[in-house]
Structure 1
Amino acid sequence: MATETKKFPSQTTSAALDARAVASAQALAAHVVQAKGHGHGGTAMALAPVSHVLFSRVLRHSPAHPDWPARDRFVLSAGHASLLLYTQLFLTGYGLTLDDLAKSRTLGSKTPGHPEVHHTVGVEMSTGPLGQGVASAVGMAMAARHESAMFTPGSALLDHTTWVLAGDGCLQEGVSGEASSLAGTLGLDNLVLIWDDNHITIDSGTDETFSEDVRARYRAYGWRVLEIDTPTDLDALEATLREAAERTGRPTLVALRTVIGAPSTKFSGTSAAHSGGFGADELALVKTTLGFAPDAPLHDLVSPETLEHTRGALTRGERMHTTWEADLATWATREPEAAARWRAFRGGEFSTAALDTVKLGEPGDKIATRKTNGAVLRALQGQAPLWGGSADLAGSTTVEVDGDRFSAANPAGEFIRFGIREHAMAAILSGIALQGPWRPFASTYLVFSDYMRPSIRLAALMGLGAVYVYTHDSVAVGEDGPTHQPVEQIGSLRTVPGLDVVRPADSVEVVAAWRRILASPDRPVALILSRQDLPVLTSTALTQAGVTAGGYVRWQHGDGTDLAILATGSEVHLAIDAATQLADEGINARVISMPCVEWFAEQTAEYRESVLPAALRARVAVEAGRGDAWYRWVGIDGQVVSVEEFGESGSGPEVLRLRGIHLDAVIAAAHDTLTSTAGDRTTAHGTPELITN
């Protein structure tokens, strides 16, 4: 065992007890998978030695203080090997039991099939889609470096390491390559990627699909590469992992050559070891090889002596945490103002008063919502925990804030240049949010949201407060043509559970939406903004409440009980123009601006009824995108004015008219629904308190 240091305090140990702990971890994985008939034991068995060394000798963690801000983060990117992580959480004292391991992959258990953050104590991120953990670990490392530079420059008080364990599959996915390239450029030497180089994937050996020189690729990214050729030598593992955690100006790849399924003689080194049980006979041989009775039940696979030994992590962690608390107190005495700012940051304390300074314009002024959004970000800089950047489009999406960029030389930088890496950008945002309590943002054109979709889904599943700023929101993009004109993207994003899709109508709604976004730190947001200038609409004091509710009456003629026109974004002013013309025909219409259907859907039935009465069956929805989802709101008697084909290259107004988004189309749809509902139309209840005209 290596010499004790402040960074790596020792844990009472012995070669015999360490060997038993590793054997127990391997036997548990094989036993649980065989008993259930499903699961992934092969990787958990092969990586038991390195996971034991990491959790017992190297990782800066305290099981009694799982939310310790200065702890190391461990991300299991190869999430199918969840038993590896659950076993270490059990052995080191995070609250799991052997029964929890036995119940893995069952409904309601603490040990789901893939790790889930906020579900199992000690799990830092939900993983499973390969490569995501690698990319989000880059975000964690970036956020850790940024926080340290912002609050404790020149001090190691907040310095810690982000560890990520990945397999061949993770490194084949493009998202990991995008993120690793950026990590090298940024010199993230607080990031260590342990690569399980076992040459096996589900279908075959990697020689059929993955013959590149991974080590050379990572060196080309700017990473340091360390080798471990003997994955069972615990002292050698410890020495290499300690070296990997050194600050050298570069992230580190630890290439760990393992044999999947070891020590099974039948399944070791084969694709069959990836998932499923080994069979009763082979399991008995594995147990015998590991020093257990061939028929040993689950609870006999971890002796009291072994558990007492591994639970030494509690004592080791308490020592580290206590030392850090003392260092924190010393720093707070020496730097009280910085300490107060850091505690406020960590406590989620911030002001949104700066939003009051954003210039909204007067009714009739024309301002692109992307421009107002940029003004919001600049106003909130330094006031709210916003931090982010763009995929090489900051000038166009207008999200760049004042100050310098984040870099290896300037980790306190106010703005992130992600490069043209949309998928990695979204996954990195998840890592920044997980590191917390940042509200990270990133921007690109809406049509490129498809590149980000897997990471967005995972952020929604984890309940992370990431903000995806999408501009150029419709075929109004114009001359760039159909490759850059989103059509299906808004509707597609709305299908993601837990994702708020917000499309403001004007500058007033942009600012109002940000008030709600900042108050909802556990929900990701897709903020959809216009490239073209949009008229600032008449507003009242109730506009803020209406936007917060997701939908409200923005304009109304008379009692508004003849017709409802629902619209979002750039189509709200078009809806008002149509309603104004219909008013000349004696039709009492209400225009419902619905910047976020998710927010509106979660309101009380009474509120929804006040805005969109059930008796008001003559309804039109208008949005410059696919209209499928709007039938939920207009019903079988309603009409939807939408874009159902790809666009064309031409000016924005020309393409909008060509694809049916124009005044005549809305008027025609209104007449159609009024005609179809004329025979059974009843008087609906108006909402005079929301009338704005």
Structure 2
Amino acid sequence: GMAMAEKLQNARYGDDIVNHYTYVIAGDGCLMEGISHEAISTAGHLGLNKLIVFWDDNEITIDGKLGIAASDNQLKRFKASGWDAQAIDGHDPEEIAKAIKKAQKSDKPSLIACKTKIGKGAPTLEGSHKTHGAPLGDEEIATMREKLGWKAAPFEVPEKVLKAWRKAGGRGAAVREAWQERFNDLDHNIQETFVRTNDGGLPDGWEATAEAYKKQLCEDAPKKATRQSSQMALNALCAVIPEMLGGSADLTGSNLTKADSQTSVTPDDFSGNYMHYGIREFGMAAFMNGIALHGGFVPYGGTFLVFADYMRAAMRLSALMEQRVIYVLTHDSIGLGEDGPTHQPVETVASLRAMPNTNVFRPADAVETLECWTLALQSEKTPSVLALSRQGVPAVRTEYSEENKCAKGAYVLRAADGPRKATIIATGTEVEIALAARDQLQAEGVPTAVVSMPCWELFEQQSDAYKHDTLGDGVRVAVEAGLQMGWDRYIGASGAFIGMTGFGASAPAEDLYKHFGITAEAVVEAVKVRV
């Protein structure tokens, strides 16, 4: 991902401004992980020639010798994916320097296999897996120091070594000053864009574009799947925020992640702003982390929501590292229909809500979708998930308000006519069901409010008073086409949940909602038996 970002910025600013290498130190275990194939394949395909990987080829893993679990020819493996690969003595500084110079001249990404011994110099533990995660011990260290002729006290850096490091650290000063002079010669607007995008700021005026589009949506009241609403939002946003770097794991036509203004990045042209990540969901998420860490772009990528399970480790790192990475995850419930239970993510939203520092958005219509996109872009230290529908939904927000109502996580979408006796809480496609149930309950003399709750995490950040006023004191019924896990905090012990209790099935969406009892009638009945 970092090497991708370098190539992308180089295409925008030229060699004089962006022309750096990305170095990786990887071990035997790293190259056994499945994601290594996704990274190797992608880097070779894109020709990321400024990516240089040092493989610590010590043939040791935690369990013992590498041979108990793997016998791959890594050099041939990398070469087969379009890499330059060379093998050296990893303990020879001159060989290392020579290999780096060769790699820097290559037009391909490079692997440098560094044959090493783990625990080198340890008198009895050199080459042993026991040195992998355990201290050597006082006696082993004392003997090792004597063998190496190392007389400096622990944590004491000898003057000769210190001077060498300081000299190495200082030699970049002239290069840095020369770069600054070239940067200062750039057009002022280009300088500002470079600094702003690397700092993660967004361009002036983008919020006005979003607000104007929001007004239009309130007037047009489109009936669209929220994945379509997302693409419409992207058309508006990407045109004014060109550093938004889109992509999909081979599902562009389904996720609808490519805006009209975007062009594809290819091995020969990195001036575009849309990545074709291939069927590499885990890789896509990890690459986006690297892009976000590098700076210069706001990465977002799409796949089906159920495939979040393939990406989870990288999504967790997005959250842990506080990176603005946006996951566009479509086909978010049994509403995807005939693809059936393998693709219906009944438990996925609940599992993502369990992840710290991750905003999970499930918008109800086009206006909420735009508001959620706006919040995702503004969340510089929090990744976002947009859980979006395959099936169409009616507009539920048709009156324009400058306030971003989704920013509070939940809000009263329809107030009760009369003293509130019940509150129906819903997300996404089920807001339509909640509204239909409310109308029936009102007609039967049960004043009922509907709360749209697109983001639990943001709702939890609100004051207790706001949360109480929003949810009310009466009967609470939640409706969502997923599992109940987590909903009890909002519905309480006397409330009800209308949703899934197990895996889905293969059938048209409308039939599935009836089959699993996720209907307005079920919501009405749940309220009436509790009022």
Establish whether TM, by shorter chain, passes 0.5: yes
Rounded to whole Å, the distance in 2 between the matches of 1:560 and 1:249 is 72
Q: 1:264 aligns with which of 100, 115, 122?
A: 122
State the number of aligned residues.
524
Rounded to whole Å, the distance in 2 between the matches of 1:578 and 1:376 is 29
AA matched with 1:224? D
AA matched with 2:75? R
TM-score norm. by structure 1 comes to 0.73
Is the contact made by 1:560 and 1:590 (CA closer than 8 Å) also made in structure 2?
A: no
AA matched with 1:265? P
Indicate the residue corresponding to 2:47 in structure 1.
Answer: 187
1:371 aligns with 2:204: no
1:518 aligns with 2:381: no
Indicate the residue corresponding to 2:331 in structure 1.
Answer: 472
Q: Percent of aligned positions with the same letter in both sequences? A: 37
Rounded to whole Å, the distance in 1 between the matches of 2:319 and 2:57 is 31
Indicate the residue corresponding to 2:84 in structure 1.
Answer: 224
- Alpha carbons of 1:483 and 1:544: their partners in 2 closer, same or farther (altered >3 Å)? farther
Is the contact made by 1:639 and 1:669 (CA closer than 8 Å) also made in structure 2?
A: yes
Indicate the residue corresponding to 1:129 in structure 2.
Answer: none
Indicate the residue corresponding to 2:252 in structure 1.
Answer: 394
Indicate the residue corresponding to 1:440 in structure 2.
Answer: 299
Rounded to whole Å, the distance in 1 between the matches of 2:466 and 2:5 is 40
Indicate the residue corresponding to 1:488 in structure 2.
Answer: 347
Q: Please show how residues 521-532 of structure 1 align to structure 2 within 5 Å.
A: 521-532=380-391
Q: Where does the alignment leave 5 or more consecutive residues of structure 1 unmatched?
A: 1-138, 675-693
Indicate the residue corresponding to 2:162 in structure 1.
Answer: 307
Q: Where does the alignment leave 5 or more consecutive residues of structure 2 unmatched?
A: none
AA matched with 2:84? R
AA matched with 2:498? V
- Alpha carbons of 1:526 and 1:349: their partners in 2 closer, same or farther (altered >3 Å)? closer
Rounded to whole Å, the distance in 1 between the matches of 2:419 and 2:63 is 62
Cα offset, 1:318, TM superposition: 2.3
Rounded to whole Å, the distance in 2 between the matches of 1:322 and 1:559 is 71
Rounded to whole Å, the distance in 1 between the matches of 2:253 and 2:134 is 51
Q: 1:175 aligns with which of 15, 20, 35?
A: 35
Indicate the residue corresponding to 1:535 in structure 2.
Answer: 394
AA matched with 2:86? L
AA matched with 1:465? R
- Alpha carbons of 1:309 and 1:497: their partners in 2 closer, same or farther (altered >3 Å)? same
1:551 aligns with 2:407: no
RMSD: 1.7
- Alpha carbons of 1:602 and 1:424: their partners in 2 closer, same or farther (altered >3 Å)? same
AA matched with 1:426? A
Rounded to whole Å, the distance in 1 between the matches of 2:103 and 2:123 is 32
- Where 2:497 maps in the other structure, the secondary structure is strand
Q: 1:345 aligns with which of 194, 197, 203?
A: 197
Indicate the residue corresponding to 1:663 in structure 2.
Answer: 520
- Where 2:342 maps in the other structure, the secondary structure is helix
AA matched with 2:408? A
- Where 1:253 maps in the other structure, the secondary structure is strand
Cα offset, 1:340, TM superposition: 4.0
- Where 1:262 maps in the other structure, the secondary structure is coil
Cα offset, 1:363, TM superposition: 7.4
Q: Please show how residues 198-213 of structure 1 align to structure 2 within 5 Å.
A: 198-213=58-73
- Where 2:404 maps in the other structure, the secondary structure is helix
- Where 1:565 maps in the other structure, the secondary structure is strand
Q: 1:645 aligns with which of 497, 502, 523?
A: 502
Rounded to whole Å, the distance in 2 between the matches of 1:519 and 1:491 is 24
AA matched with 2:56? D
Deviates more, 1:590-599 or 1:317-326: 317-326
Q: Please show how residues 97-112 of structure 1 align to structure 2 within 5 Å.
A: none
- Where 1:509 maps in the other structure, the secondary structure is helix
Rounded to whole Å, the distance in 1 between the matches of 2:194 and 2:231 is 26
Q: 2:150 aligns with which of 292, 301, 304?
A: 292
Indicate the residue corresponding to 1:623 in structure 2.
Answer: 480
Is the contact made by 2:496 and 2:526 (CA closer than 8 Å) also made in structure 1?
A: yes
1:187-231 Cα offsets, whole Å, 9 max, x none, are 001111111111110002111211011111111111111221x22
Cα offset, 1:240, TM superposition: 1.1
Cα offset, 1:360, TM superposition: 2.4
Rounded to whole Å, the distance in 1 between the matches of 2:245 and 2:202 is 15
Is the contact made by 2:325 and 2:384 (CA closer than 8 Å) also made in structure 1?
A: yes
- Alpha carbons of 1:575 and 1:235: their partners in 2 closer, same or farther (altered >3 Å)? same
Deviates more, 1:488-497 or 1:174-183: 174-183
Cα offset, 1:447, TM superposition: 0.9
AA matched with 1:648? A
Is the contact made by 2:221 and 2:398 (CA closer than 8 Å) also made in structure 1?
A: no
Indicate the residue corresponding to 2:132 in structure 1.
Answer: 274
AA matched with 1:271? H
Indicate the residue corresponding to 1:140 in structure 2.
Answer: 2
1:563-599 Cα offsets, whole Å, 9 max, x none, are 1111000001110110110001111111110000000
Rounded to whole Å, the distance in 1 between the matches of 2:177 and 2:101 is 22
- Alpha carbons of 1:604 and 1:539: their partners in 2 closer, same or farther (altered >3 Å)? farther
Rounded to whole Å, the distance in 2 between the matches of 1:367 and 1:448 is 23
Is the contact made by 2:57 and 2:115 (CA closer than 8 Å) also made in structure 1?
A: yes
AA matched with 1:147? Q
Is the contact made by 1:617 and 1:634 (CA closer than 8 Å) also made in structure 2?
A: no
Is the contact made by 1:164 and 1:193 (CA closer than 8 Å) also made in structure 2?
A: yes
Is the contact made by 1:512 and 1:547 (CA closer than 8 Å) also made in structure 2?
A: yes
Rounded to whole Å, the distance in 2 between the matches of 1:513 and 1:560 is 31
Rounded to whole Å, the distance in 1 between the matches of 2:358 and 2:176 is 36
Cα offset, 1:544, TM superposition: 3.9
1:61-91 Cα offsets, whole Å, 9 max, x none, are xxxxxxxxxxxxxxxxxxxxxxxxxxxxxxx
Indicate the residue corresponding to 2:17 in structure 1.
Answer: 157
Is the contact made by 2:359 and 2:457 (CA closer than 8 Å) also made in structure 1?
A: yes
- Alpha carbons of 1:431 and 1:289: their partners in 2 closer, same or farther (altered >3 Å)? same
- Where 1:629 maps in the other structure, the secondary structure is coil
Is the contact made by 1:512 and 1:544 (CA closer than 8 Å) also made in structure 2?
A: no
- Where 2:521 maps in the other structure, the secondary structure is helix
Detail structure 1 runs of 4+ shifted over 6 Å in the superposition: none
AA matched with 1:346? N
Rounded to whole Å, the distance in 2 between the matches of 1:203 and 1:493 is 32
AA matched with 2:496? Q
Rounded to whole Å, the distance in 2 between the matches of 1:496 and 1:287 is 45
Q: 1:354 aligns with which of 188, 209, 213?
A: 209
Is the contact made by 2:484 and 2:501 (CA closer than 8 Å) also made in structure 1?
A: yes
Is the contact made by 2:422 and 2:474 (CA closer than 8 Å) also made in structure 1?
A: yes
- Where 1:395 maps in the other structure, the secondary structure is helix
Rounded to whole Å, the distance in 2 between the matches of 1:324 and 1:603 is 46
Is the contact made by 1:401 and 1:414 (CA closer than 8 Å) also made in structure 2?
A: no
Cα offset, 1:278, TM superposition: 1.7
AA matched with 1:141? A
- Alpha carbons of 1:156 and 1:209: their partners in 2 closer, same or farther (altered >3 Å)? farther
Deviates more, 1:657-666 or 1:474-483: 657-666
TM-score norm. by structure 2 comes to 0.95
Cα offset, 1:259, TM superposition: 0.5
